[in-house]
Structure 1
Amino acid sequence: MPKPHPQEFRDDVVNVARNREPGQTIKQIASDFGIAESCLRNWMRRADIEAGARPGTTAAENAELREAKKRIRLLEQENEVLRRAAAYLSQANLPSKGSTRS
Structure 2
Amino acid sequence: MESRGKKKPRPRRSFTPEFKAEIVELCRRGDRSVGQVAKDFDLTETAVRDWVRQAEVDAGERDGLTSSEREELAQLRRENRRLREDVEILKRAFFACGTQHLPRCRSARMRRQSALHGATQAPSGGSDVLGQPGGRRPP
Q: Tell me the TM-score range normalised by the shorter chain.
A: 0.5 to 0.7
- The CA deviation at 1:10 is 1.2
Identify unmatched segments of 5+ residues in structure 1.
95-102
Larger Rg: 2
Identify unmatched segments of 5+ residues in structure 2.
1-10, 104-139
Select 1:26's aligned residue among 34, 41, 48. 34
TM-score, normalised relative to structure 2? 0.49
Identity among equivalent positions (%) equals 29
The aligned counterpart of 2:100 is 91
Distance 2:22 2:70 in 1: 23
Structure with the higher helix share, 1 or 2: 1
Is 1:51 aligned to 2:67, yes or no?
Answer: no
- The CA deviation at 1:30 is 2.3
TM-score, normalised relative to structure 1? 0.62
1:31-46 aligned at under 5 Å gives the runs 31-46=39-54
Structure 2 contact 54–67 (Cα < 8 Å) conserved: no
Higher relative contact order by CA 8 Å / sep ≥ 6: 1 or 2? 1
Q: Number of residues paired by the alignment?
A: 92
| RMSD (Å) for aligned C-alpha atoms | 3.1
- The CA deviation at 1:74 is 4.1
The aligned counterpart of 2:23 is 13
